[in-house]
Amino acid sequence: MTNRGFLVAAGTLVVANVLIFGGVMRNRAGNPDAVVRLSERELESWGDHSEGAETFLNLRLQWKTAPGPGGKPWFNRAKLEALGNIGIPAADDTAAHREWSRGTKPGYAVLELAGPAWERWREAAPLKSDSIPTRLMAVDFGLDPLALRQQYPERSQYLILPATYHAIIVSSVRDSMSNTVTPARIEGQVRELLPGTVHVPRPLRDSLIGLGAELNDSTTHFEVTLKVGRKWEVWVE
């Protein structure tokens, strides 16, 4: 590489780093949109701690979609229509549904921590409550994060994060006589959070590794503070 080429490459790298740093600072400027305290129940860790490698640690958010009040799904046909989906086919028209629901669509998911949705999940789950790892439940989905924040103003309990969703067909339920107990229906499903992981900086990384965070087993117990910034990006402290 010539000196000119080296200088151009170095300058490009510097500009890229400045832009990244500037984006981080803008996201963290002012008061956070949300500040929640999460434990190992809501955070799965992964990283590289092998000898000779540069140690890093990331935390992946663990969440479930909770049933709505009365046990009914909240991400129903009406919610799909409210998100701007038109021409939703009938649940029994599998060919039309396959074409209509292809791919995922973006929006914002609302995640509730240790609230009524988690209580409903505990009641509906066949396992003991202490066997259910996460208390973080998806309870709503929308296109406008500011409007969602007005609906869910408690910033220490509700996270609003970029996410994707898609539509699925839930098969009908029949009894032993083949009578339909619950007809087939179309529902939305939160697919993934964007991003679903957060990088752990030093010295918090070293503290969590010291607590065994990388083991992801029943002996590991830790807590971190997760914050959501103005650009709906997360970080931990």
Q: List the one residue out of 213, 234, 209 whose CA is nearest residue 55.
A: 209
Q: Going by C-beta distance under 8 Å and a sequence separation of 6 or more, which residues neighbour residue 98? A: none
Q: Which residue has the tokens 């709906």?
A: 232
What's the predicted TM-score (pTM) here?
0.80
pLDDT in tens, the chain (237 residues): 555 554 444 444 443 333 334 445 565 656 899 999 999 899 988 765 554 455 778 899 999 998 888 888 999 989 999 999 887 777 777 676 676 777 899 999 999 999 999 988 888 776 555 555 899 999 999 999 999 999 999 999 999 999 999 988 776 666 666 676 566 788 899 999 998 888 888 878 888 877 777 666 666 788 999 999 988 999 998
